[in-house]
Amino acid sequence: MFKKVLIANRGEIALRIIRALREMQIRSVAVYSEADADALHVKFADEAVCIGPASSTLSYLNIPAIISAAEVTAAEAVHPGYGFLAENAEFADVCKRCGLTWIGPQPDLMRLMGDKIRARAAMEESGVPILPGTGVLRTEQDLFEGAERIGFPIILKASAGGGGRGMKIVRSQDQLVHDWGTGRAEAQASFGNPDMYMERFCERPRHIEVQVVGDSHGNATHLGERECSVQRRHQKILEEAPGTDISDALRARLTGAATEATRRIGYEGVGTVEFLLDEDEQFYFMEMNTRLQVEHPVTEMVYGVDLVREQIKIASGHELSFKQRKARGHSIELRINAEDSETFAPSPGKITGLNLPGGLGVRVDTHIYEGYVVPPHYDSLLAKVIVHDTDRGAAINRALRCLDEFVIEGIKTNIAFHKNILNSAEYRAGKVDTGFVARLLESRGR
């Protein structure tokens, strides 16, 4: 087992990893930008190294600075968390070349799954259903031929993309060339790669993901599915586990497909296979995230497995510590962001007052404290409120109680918006899809 691990991240996920390392009696090294000098992950790590100014390009994305921090502190391994460099295969390769263990999957598999077209092909070979689609669209003729074969509506996606960037829904041939051009420009700006491909568009799909885990000894298993359909502009807001209104038969098909694909590609570490689920209960591969997910706590709550600890053990050569687990109860995660609940505009600034919720079945993953200044340079996530109870209805009520207790003064947050979600009849009935938030906003005149 490692003696010292560097965490190439910040905020709540850096703290989450520090806690797991402390419980495993492994020393932790934090890295931080000048803007994060007073951050909690800096205060609670065993060692901390400043790696640059506030700009993430010059700090948290600065590979030479992170490697130097690992070398001067004699760290043996690097945990990337999520975001920043977590799915950067080049960073993983550099770590290995410098004698550092990468706490994550093999770089070649990161590259494979980072290329959405190659990932589709690999999953199809593994028996996972995929939507009718195309390869890279090189010419306008490719566009028209693909659209004619698939039929409108179609969706254009960035081959190297994620998070909705470069994504365009096209409902008629008149839009096709224009949207392809703007999508390519967005993909180039976001990912440095303009390649686009096309898939059939599902009108009211659900976003379901399966948590998978594999080791270097040939073992692979799953820890159930998560419902991630509550999202705004392709960004998740609320997640829960298990998925809502999913039959045992459908669950077996989803988890079976994800697990078999994980085994066939020889995946090592924690990952997530994401699916679109249509109204006829047909599911299709969307992408595989080769990292820890923001929403991993809901899986931990219902399955009783520490996924960060499992990542660290797998990276050090251990076998999976479990074969299969059964879900227990229901869990919901609310992402609390520094943003206005009405306009969704970012709201950085100083937190002048703070009260965190607590009690039975409540977990709050956060890096904020009274007096903390939320910087404008990074993601707006302040905290994740995770609740667990015997069933979904009880979990919803517990989540609402937590929101009533959660007080953040000095900046604006989206707590009020979460209350609107949890109180909506559509959400309570479990009838959510990826268009749910847009309908909710429209019903409120926004």
CA neighbours closer than 13 Å in the CB half-sphere of residue 270: 27
- Please check whether residue 347 is in contact with residue 338, taking contact to mean a CB–CB distance below 8 angstroms: yes
Q: How far is CA 160 from CA 87, 131, 192, 424, in A?
A: 11, 18, 8, 36
- Please check whether residue 207 is in contact with residue 276, taking contact to mean a CB–CB distance below 8 angstroms: yes
- Please check whether residue 17 is in contact with residue 36, taking contact to mean a CB–CB distance below 8 angstroms: no
Q: Name residues whose C-beta falls within 8 Å of residue 24's C-beta, 6 or more positions apart in sequence.
A: 1, 309, 312
Cα(first)–Cα(last) distance of the chain, in Å? 52
Return the SS3 of 109.
helix
150: nearest Cα among 126, 130, 127? 130
Name the residues annotated as catalytic. Answer: 291
Positions of E strands within 343-396: 349-350, 353-355, 362-366, 373-374, 381-389
- Please check whether residue 170 is in contact with residue 153, taking contact to mean a CB–CB distance below 8 angstroms: yes
323: nearest Cα among 259, 366, 386, 408? 259
Rounded Cα gap, residues 11 and 84, in angstroms: 12
Rounded Cα gap, residues 227 and 243, in angstroms: 4
190 C-beta neighbours (distance < 10 Å), count: 16
393 C-beta neighbours (distance < 10 Å), count: 12
267: nearest Cα among 234, 243, 289? 289
